[in-house]
């Protein structure tokens, strides 16, 4: 059996997966490093060219790298999040209510803090307002909670789109082309740009809600590339590692 509880940064052993540890191994690891990464995904439409798991793929892969490089234990990804009523009508989308997600996360946090976890990072790649609110208002009696929203990181320097308030657009499509190219249907990519005034109307939180009956895209996925996705991903790993894991939360931990 390999030792996946090695806390040294830069380990080649891979992520420290909580689900793969015995309770004794988990206890020992929490005694050495009482931190926990909790990715929160969605099962939500992302246009005809991206999978329903887009948010979950992005946040899971990011959390895996952070766990591997910083030795922080990684909890299994919560695959469901909060979505708009409009997007719930698309086949396959499975959404929770905000109060349900909030309660689930609060109960999990209560479990883990009772086992000695002192700092919990809730990572999400979904910017819908009610989803962010549910995560950002999780409370704890003893543990420090950090809600980390990837939309709070300025990524405009990597993209051709002048703004990143898109859905299934250049950013997400680029990341999937890098992380899971086999899940991207390149022949189905279609742009659905909107004017800035309309974009403001569609925004709910950090992310726009597609128009009812549309293919489910807001933005220009045709501008995406695997190279952009790689550069964005590596930047996110470095940025969150430095600002969140090394410096106790930084400006993008809430």
pLDDT value at residue 164: 74
For residue 86, the surrounding DSSP H or E stretch is helix 85-88
pLDDT value at residue 11: 52
CB within 8 A of 8, min separation 6: which ones?
71
**What is residue 141's DSSP assignment?**
S
Distance CA 172, CA 189 (A): 12
Architecture of the domain whose range is 16-246? 3-Layer(aba) Sandwich (3.40)
pLDDT value at residue 198: 87
Residue 8 corresponds to which tokens in the numbers above? 């040294």
Q: Show the CA angle centred on residue 84, arms to residues 80 and 88, nearest 5°.
A: 70
**What is residue 47's DSSP assignment?**
T
Residue 103 corresponds to which tokens in the numbers above? 């309660």
Instruction: Answer yes or no: are the C-beta atoms of 65 and 237 closer than 8 Å.
Output: yes
Instruction: List the domain boundaries for the chain.
Output: 16-246
Q: What does the pLDDT look like over 116-142, one tens digit per residue?
A: 999 999 999 999 999 999 999 999 999
Ranges of residues in the chain whose predicted pLDDT is under 70: 1-12, 247-254
Give this prediction's pTM.
0.91
């Amino acid at each position: 059996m390999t030792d996946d509880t090695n806390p040294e940064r830069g380990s080649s052993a891979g992520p420290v997966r909580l689900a793969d540890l015995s309770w004794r191994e988990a206890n020992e690891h929490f005694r050495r490093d009482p931190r926990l990464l909790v990715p929160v995904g969605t099962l939500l439409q992302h246009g005809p060219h991206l999978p329903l798991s887009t948010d979950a793929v992005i946040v899971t892969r990011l959390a895996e790298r952070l766990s591997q490089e910083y030795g922080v234990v990684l909890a299994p990804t919560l695959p469901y999040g909060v979505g708009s009523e409009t997007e719930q009508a698309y086949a396959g989308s499975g959404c929770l209510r905000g109060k349900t997600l909030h309660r689930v996360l609060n109960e999990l946090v209560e479990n883990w803090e009772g086992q000695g976890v002192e700092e919990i990072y809730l990572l999400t790649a979904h910017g819908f307002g009610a989803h962010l609110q549910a995560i950002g208002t999780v409370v704890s009696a003893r543990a420090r909670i950090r809600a980390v929203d990837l939309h709070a990181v300025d990524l405009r320097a990597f993209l051709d789109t002048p703004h990143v308030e898109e859905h299934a657009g250049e950013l997400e499509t680029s990341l999937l082309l890098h992380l899971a190219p086999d899940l991207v249907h390149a022949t189905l990519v279609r742009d659905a740009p909107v004017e800035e005034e309309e974009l403001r109307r569609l925004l709910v939180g950090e992310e726009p809600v597609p128009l009812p009956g549309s293919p489910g895209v807001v933005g220009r996925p045709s501008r995406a590339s695997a190279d952009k996705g790689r550069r964005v991903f590596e930047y996110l790993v470095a940025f969150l590692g430095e600002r969140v894991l090394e410096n106790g939360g930084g400006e993008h931990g809430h």
